[in-house]
Amino acid sequence: MLRYIYGYARVVSAGLIKNKIILRYITCKFCLFFFENSMKCVLIIPDGCADLPIESLGGVTPMSYATTPTLDMLAGEGLLGTSLYVPKKMTPGSDVATLGLLGYNPKKYYTGRAPIEAAAQNISLGDSDWAIRCNLVTIDNSNKTKPVMKSFSAGHIASEEAAELIETLNKKLVPLSPIPIRFHSGVSYRNLCIASNCKTRFSKSTLTYPPHDYADKPINSAAPTGDGSRVLQTLMKESQKIFENHPVNIKRIKESKLPATQIWLWGLGQKPIIPNFGVQFDQPEMKCAMITAVDLLKGIANLIGWTNIIVPNITGYVDTDYAAKGKYAVNAIKEYDLVCVHIEATDEAGHEGNVEKKIYALEQIDKHIVKPIYESLKNCGDEWRILVTPDHPTPVANKTHTSEFVPWLLAGSNIIKSKTKDGYNEKSAEKNAKFTFKEGWKMMNLLVR
């Protein structure tokens, strides 16, 4: 398609066609050709699916072990490569990594995780406001001198239960706060706290720590530090008293579920300014859509001008409705130029250190998402491309994110075939890599340009 556009531009700019009627005719024909033969692009993000070799799997990774026939076929039919989406000296969170994956230099555009999630809830931040991520967590205090992060998700608490706890915080904790704050419920354990009119209270020196980095580990060294840290510590401590005998927790304990023992505040920042995706890639008319259960991805979509497609029964966990995501993506391809499908399940399995769940999620993604999307694209009548890439590794042995290169595959129209029979996995991508992006934010050009 690009060669036709380039050729047409040369003809017009060189003034080779003097007759205006003929020029208008050719222009109309070109426009019809362009719009009738547009490129359809799909981006699939199996969050955190990259891993390390595991002894119990015979020394291979979950990606290698899982039965993923469509992904393996596409690896042979397309290009393989590796990318590092997290710049050096930056924390390997999904916030940083996803910005890089979508073509934005995190060093330039990243201001914090919570402001992105605020955008997902259409929470408008003023210049003096700070957004703070608020996890509901379970802390094991049986050893008073060495408390442990038993669950960074309070046992994947239901959104309805979380909303009740957040409502209670607004009634009982907000009045105790030394700064103006308001809590906002999100999905499951993922919630927000907005601090208003406190520009000088926090700064870049304010350091907080993701609770999933401390899964089953002591949290003594994980308390906030720097400007405003005492406020955050006080709010977290006071929440313990409010949650201790809360009806939601009493009910959960009776049902043998983990209670939410307190809030965990982290990932704070101020409002980001990120350019529109189409403008960023010199295609301002490009229509893009996001399918995800996670506020972080919804927020990024809102900030870069994408439409968030709401899919029922998706959870952001291993029990999500994979088939629904695939179905809605296939329908979206008809309307949008680029459709992104994000799946959180593989990342959550990594955080839990559960290799079986990670393998299961990968196989469901291949069967219910990748396969129907591929079949739809190859029969759509347009040129098409599909890119599959995680944002970062989440090794089950580590239970947290790492800053490593991840494998990607790109298949579709005008893409050179690797012809590999090694499938789609970390080892195969490294072995057969046609491109390696140390600055991962430059990789998106392969899909959309």
**Span 409-428, average pLDDT:** 95
**Domain end point (choices 238, 269, 300):** 269
**Span 339-364, average pLDDT:** 97
Both ends of the chain: CA-CA distance in Å? 10
Q: Give yes or no: residues 194 and 285 share one domain.
A: no
Residues contacting residue 399 through CB under 8 Å, at least 6 positions apart: 212, 215, 216, 350, 351, 352, 353
Mean pLDDT of the chain: 92
Q: Give yes or no: residues 330 and 415 share one domain.
A: yes
Domain span at residue 205 reads: 130-269
Q: Would you say residue 10 lies in a domain?
A: no
Q: For 435-444, how does the pLDDT look when each residue is reduced to its tens digit (9 = 90+)? A: 999 999 999 9
Q: Would you say residue 205 lies in a domain?
A: yes
**Domain end point (choices 269, 299, 327):** 269
Q: Which residue has the higher pLDDT, 18 or 275?
A: 275
Tokens 């130029």 -> residue: 337
- Work out the percent of the chain whose per-residue pLDDT is above 70: 92
Q: Would you say residue 226 lies in a domain?
A: yes
Q: Would you say residue 367 lies in a domain?
A: yes
Phi and psi dihedrals of 200, rounded to 5? -90, -5
Q: Would you say residue 204 lies in a domain?
A: yes
Instruction: Read off the tokens for 62.
Output: 């979950």
Q: Give yes or no: residues 261 and 291 share one domain.
A: no
Q: Would you say residue 144 lies in a domain?
A: yes
109, 269 in Cβ contact below 8 A? no
Instruction: Read off the tokens for 254.
Output: 């009776």
The closest alpha carbon to 342, from 299, 385, 305, belongs to 299
Residues contacting residue 345 through CB under 8 Å, at least 6 positions apart: 47, 316, 317, 318, 320, 322, 357, 361, 364, 365
Q: Would you say residue 13 lies in a domain?
A: no
**Span 295-315, average pLDDT:** 96
Residue 198 banded pLDDT, cuts 50, 70, 90: confident
At residue 29, the pLDDT reads 41
- In Å, how far are 138, 140, 190, 199, 240 from 121, measured between CA atoms? 25, 31, 12, 22, 26
**Domain end point (choices 223, 250, 269):** 269
Q: Would you say residue 355 lies in a domain?
A: yes
Amino acid at 41: C
- In Å, how far are 18, 20, 339 from 23, measured between CA atoms? 8, 5, 35
Instruction: Read off the tokens for 133.
Output: 């991520």
Q: Give yes or no: residues 254 and 299 share one domain.
A: no
Q: Give yes or no: residues 257 and 287 share one domain.
A: no
Q: Give yes or no: residues 387 and 307 share one domain.
A: yes
Q: Give yes or no: residues 353 and 372 share one domain.
A: yes
Q: Give yes or no: residues 284 and 431 share one domain.
A: yes
Q: Give yes or no: residues 343 and 364 share one domain.
A: yes
The b/e string for 3-17 (b: 16+ C-beta within 10 A; e otherwise) is eeeeebeeeeeeeee
Phi and psi dihedrals of 75, rounded to 5? -60, -40
Counted domains in the chain: 2
Q: Give yes or no: residues 334 and 406 share one domain.
A: yes
Q: Give yes or no: residues 289 and 408 share one domain.
A: yes
Residue 83 banded pLDDT, cuts 50, 70, 90: very high
pLDDT of residue 17 exceeding 60, the answer is: no
At residue 20, the pLDDT reads 52
CATH code for the domain of 82: 3.40.720.10
pLDDT of residue 302 exceeding 60, the answer is: yes
pLDDT of residue 19 exceeding 90, the answer is: no
Rounded to an integer, what distance in angstroms lies between the CA atom of residue 111 and that of residue 379? 41
Q: Give yes or no: residues 242 and 352 share one domain.
A: no
